[in-house]
Structure 1
Amino acid sequence: MIISCCYIYALLVNIWTTDKVYSQVTINGVIGGSVLLPCASKRHEHKLQDINIHWRHNASMPVYDIFKGKGSVEHQEPRFKNKTDIFPYDFVRGNFSIQLNKLIHTDAGVYECYIIHSGEHVNVLLLVNESTEAKEAGGGNKSEETNIVLISITVLCVFVVVLSISLFVYKWFYKTSRSQLSYYVSEELEPVNQNHHN
């Protein structure tokens, strides 16, 4: 839902903005990973002292600023602290991309790069997904837990079956032994009784 709203917002900005929006891209990232948010000017040569760039998240949140060719985090939103990298050696060639690190779900949304000195504007839609490794690991843990449960149930069933067979054999043996004992006792006692009658 949030991603859909961000996408619609980006489209509306494209339609209604007065800036020269010449680029809109969608970037996919994963939780805990890094992504490059691209921003490049159509002009290929820039003077460092003229370069002024503003990166914003969802229209208003300051992500990174570049003033006169130098990076500035003075107005940076605290949640982006130590999460952004810039590439100053590319500024003169018109590349003002930034790298966003340690991605979390709330990093998803529309990032806008305002190239103030040339009047250009770039939109980047960032989608943040679970990493495939995390999914596989999660699936692996569940699978491992399932295997442990199945093994436990199997062992318990085998134990119950063995116990039942043991009890059955014991009862059968006990019953057989008693009946044989009764037979032998009755055989032993019978002549004694006959002697008494004589």
Structure 2
Amino acid sequence: MLLVFKVNTAICQVNVQAFIGDAVLLPCIYSQGQPVRGKVFWRDKDDNIVLDIGKDGPDPSTQNQKFRERVFSFPDEYVKGNFSIQLKDVQQSDSSPYECHIPSEDFQRRLVLTVSGKRVEATPGPSGGAAGTPSPLHMVLLCLPLSLFF
């Protein structure tokens, strides 16, 4: 007897930077073409519940106190496979790896949030130029399979 298993696990790590007091987007986009059938679980490095998303939407009642009233999702985007969350009023203690896990689809997205001190407003240099930082959308696009574009 021969058993063949297909493994669809998709794991990509995204690095996200924020400053104390900022709101930051933690991206999690499942783009395999079919709707997600089960729950979506967001966890931090200590396995604290950041947010659980079920068929009826986000369930803030199970959130760890540390994240209450600071984590928000985008329910209108769920049908597109977008389970990204926004973390508001970022604190130094929020620096951590985070994971978005969709067990029914065998999908995981790992993120590392690095929080720095207060944002310092930049002034243009002598050439008038400014430095740019990739947006969270750019970071999401870097983790998508190239086959989606060709």
Higher RCO, Cα 8 Å, sep 6+: 2
Contact 1:26 1:124 in 2 (8 A): yes
Aligned to 2:68: 81
Are residues 1:32 and 2:8 paired? no
Aligned length: 117
Aligned to 1:159: none
- Relative distance call for 1:115 and 1:55 in structure 2 (3 A) is same
Instruction: State the distance in 2 between where 1:86 and 1:31 align.
Output: 20
Shift, 1:59, TM fit: 4.7
Aligned to 1:102: 89
Aligned to 1:42: 31
Counterpart secondary structure, 1:74: helix
Larger Rg: 1
Shift, 1:75, TM fit: 1.6
Shift, 1:19, TM fit: 8.0
TM-score (normalizing by structure 2): 0.71
Aligned pair partner of 1:111 in 93, 98, 114: 98
Give the % identical residues: 30
Contact 2:11 2:108 in 1 (8 A): yes
Structure 1: stretches of 5+ with no match in the other structure: 1-17, 135-198
Q: Say what the alpha-carbon RMSD is for the aligned residues.
A: 2.3
Aligned to 1:138: none
- Structure in which a larger fraction of residues adopt helix: 1
Structure 2: stretches of 5+ with no match in the other structure: 1-6, 122-150
Contact 2:52 2:60 in 1 (8 A): yes
Counterpart secondary structure, 1:132: coil
The runs of at least 4 consecutive aligned structure 1 residues that moved more than 3 Å come to none
Instruction: State the distance in 1 between where 2:119 and 2:76 align.
Output: 34
Contact 1:104 1:128 in 2 (8 A): yes
Aligned to 1:70: 57
